[in-house]
Amino acid sequence: MNMRKYFNMLAEKWDEIVWHDPQKLNKIVEQIGLKKGDKVLDVGCGTGVLVEYILKFVGPEGCIIGVDVSEKMIEKAKEKYKEITNVNFLHNDVMNLDFKDFFDAIICYSVFPHIEDKENAIKKFSQMLKKDGKLVIAHSQSREKINSLHESLPEPVKGHFLPQMNEIIHLCRKAQLIEVLSIDNSEMFLLVAKKELIN
């Protein structure tokens, strides 16, 4: 079974079986520093769990694009936000998107362990960001909890681990993304890195 089929299988009951602490989600999005009118890409958006929190900051002038490899997750997300005109969902692999210098923020919430080629993905995110745009890699649980959970899950997500913070920061620097905030504690994992054009 591949990842698309795995998450398709879980999509119908995803919001019942997976709980995300609203206070933590609010705190994560708050610390990104989003502004009214910002364009945001929500990578591995699932059923759109983060969208309502992003909307609070970007407002109706902003734009949110959610992308996910699971069409069933995208169907659920579209149903939830069908009344909101500045939110769009795409069934695709983020590596196939062709935006360039477009987004103010790219958020990978609860998805980074599932990205196979992390180095190339970060390069791709950097290309899609505007100058001073931010890449966000976040989880509302600790790295230890995430990795322990993925150790216990079946294929194809078994062993999909979240690397150490310094490893991700190193990959970001190689892609002209400079760390502005990092939190790696028992409550959450959050890295915010800004695109800086380095000669």
For 133-156, what is each residue's pLDDT tens digit? 999 999 999 999 998 977 877 677
Interacting residues of 70 by C-beta distance below 8 A, sequence separation 6+: 3, 4, 7, 8, 11, 46, 91
For residue 34, pLDDT beyond 90: yes
Q: Would you say 193 and 178 are in contact if contact means Cβ atoms under 8 Å apart?
A: yes
Residue 181 CA, distance from chain mean position: 16
For residue 71, pLDDT beyond 60: yes
Q: Would you say 195 and 130 are in contact if contact means Cβ atoms under 8 Å apart?
A: yes
Q: Would you say 133 and 100 are in contact if contact means Cβ atoms under 8 Å apart?
A: no
Tell me how far apart the alpha carbons of residues 141 and 147 are, in angstroms, rounded to a whole number.
10
**Which pTM was predicted?**
0.95
pLDDT of residue 127: 97
